[in-house]
Structure 1
């Protein structure tokens, strides 16, 4: 009778018996009976592993080999490349929502580099179910813009509360006159889509899209959250078929993407954060 391989194996010559892998496993699938004992996988529970990789990543000796995750995909962390807090703060503060784009497209290689980083964004239970659809070039974006404009026109004609609150009539008039206030002349529109029955699908897509904005900025690529496109997709889901997104998936976030036409010279002010710290409650008080 065939048996499935263990969830992980331990090199007993390398293992320091420090228990770090057991402490790091979020599903408690790594067990260690004592400080001088080898860790071992909890029998019969391999299907509960979420493939987060913590057990491999935390081991200072490289003693653990996960059966579902190739060890070659775990490069050593180079602490010398870690960003200083001041450098990260400067990067985040200089990100702008770009609404004026150059007509040139972003290369496929640049998109690949951005997404290679963004795939490391956290997802609920490490499901990693965010996928991407990219309108590649102004012709593709403009074709979708026309579909969105027809939806806005229908909302205005029906005199819906949404049309009035979002002032869609003005947006329709602007697009009809050749002033694109919807896609802003962007050469790309990027859509993050997820299963509608995922663990935390909306949160996963929004986190990934936020990472996309931050990483794109590091590549010199500008972006802006595409509000009108999101409104259209939420009110007229059949537009997702126009994008080739299959049934059973939703689009919680979308971006306009391209090279910024202008360069911003200064950071801008933002309101101070409003924070409430809740002290611990002492029994008897």
Structure 2
């Protein structure tokens, strides 16, 4: 079966599908030629869907991607830049949660958007594990607290850098500075090896966080949990995550206990525009703030 077919009665011969294919698998002979797939290179297709998505007439059909999975783009639903900026600026890292669990349907809706996050070579390696309910999260907390105490007793550099002694004391006194009383923890996990698996997971988790905010679900990147999973790999297995996969991102999640009324300030963006390659002095000057 060819990688794709083209309806020659619909094709405009505009060459858009040829131009956008990142693997150069779409060819045509001359400016009026009909697009055709490069023979014998089907395995090089990364299933990005660009060739189908760019076609203005729907003339191209991809053998690996059902055409019904390519809904038309509704330009009227595009967010104005001001609306998107407002959404991003109203997102907060939530550390106070209501005890109720988030419906699975809400998580499904969030993940239905987050699954479209970009990944290296479109490998889409990210899978998700979601701890559901405070008892499950509290059980994980007990394991993390035990790891903290061991690091403190061993007087490791990590325990000093992270201030684990104070965190462990707080947990022992009933103040949860690790999971913050969240009813869920969301783990994005990927194969340990791949094109860009660690980056893919962080990007996907970031998309999850942004979309969750739109659904009224608060999140916070779980730093202590991440360090515990990195230094105590058996915790990853306790989560049911298969051998050979790692967890580059974990989010506390739940319904926020409080409503924020104002956006908050952040430092101005630091940026350097380079019209060419810069040397040491030039680079330092272009980054200096007046």
The corresponding residue for 1:205 is 201
Tell me the secondary structure at the aligned position of residue 35 of structure 1. coil
Moved over 6 A (4+): none
Partner of 2:215: 219
Paired with 2:72 and 2:8, the residues of 1 have a C-alpha distance of 21
Distance in 1, matches of 2:67 and 2:275, equals 43
Q: Which of 170, 178, 182 is 2:178 aligned to?
A: 182
TM-superposed deviation, 1:72 = 0.3
Offset of 1:280 from its aligned partner?
3.2
| 2:2 equivalent to 1:6 | yes
State the match for 1:97 in structure 2: 93
Q: Secondary structure at the match of 1:76?
A: coil
Q: Give distance in 2, aligned partners of 1:57 and 1:152.
A: 50
Q: Gaps (5+ residues) in structure 2?
A: 278-290
SS at match of 1:198: coil
CA distance in 1, matches of 2:167, 2:193: 33
Quick check: 1:250 aligned with 2:246? Answer: yes
Q: Work out the CA distance in 2 between the residues paired with 1:9 and 1:226.
A: 47
Distance 2:187 2:23 in 1: 32
Partner residue of 2:31? 35
Cα deviation, residue 165, structure 1: 1.4
SS in structure 1 at match of 2:177: coil
Partner of 1:267: 263
Mapping 1:59-70, distance limit 5 Å: 59-70=55-66
Post-superposition offset of 1:198: 1.3
Alpha-carbon separation, structure 2, partners of 1:112 and 1:125: 25
d(CA) in 1 for partners of 2:96, 2:126: 28
Aligned to 2:128: 132
Rounded Cα–Cα distance in structure 1 between residues aligned with 2:8 and 2:107? 42
Which of 63, 77, 81 is 1:81 aligned to?
Answer: 77
2:140 equivalent in structure 1: 144
- Which residue of structure 2 lines up, in the alignment, with residue 193 of structure 1? 189
Aligned to 2:281: none
Q: Which residue of 1 aligns with 2:106?
A: 110
Q: Deviations over 1:42-75 (max 9, x none)?
A: 0000000000000000000000000000000000
Deviations 1:179-226 (A, max 9, x none): 100000000000000001111011000000000000000001000000
Q: Secondary structure at the match of 1:205?
A: helix
- Displacement, 1:36? 1.0
Normalized against structure 2, the TM-score is what?
A: 0.95
SS in structure 2 opposite 1:148?
helix
2:121 pairs with 1:122:
no
Q: In structure 2, how many angstroms separate the alpha carbons of the residues matched to 1:273 and 1:198? A: 32
Following superposition, the deviation at residue 151 of structure 1 comes to: 0.3
d(CA) in 2 for partners of 1:32, 1:276 = 40
- In the aligned structure 2, how far is the partner of 1:73 from the partner of 1:43? 25
Q: Secondary structure at the match of 1:169?
A: helix
Alpha-carbon distance in 2 for matches of 1:116, 1:199:
23
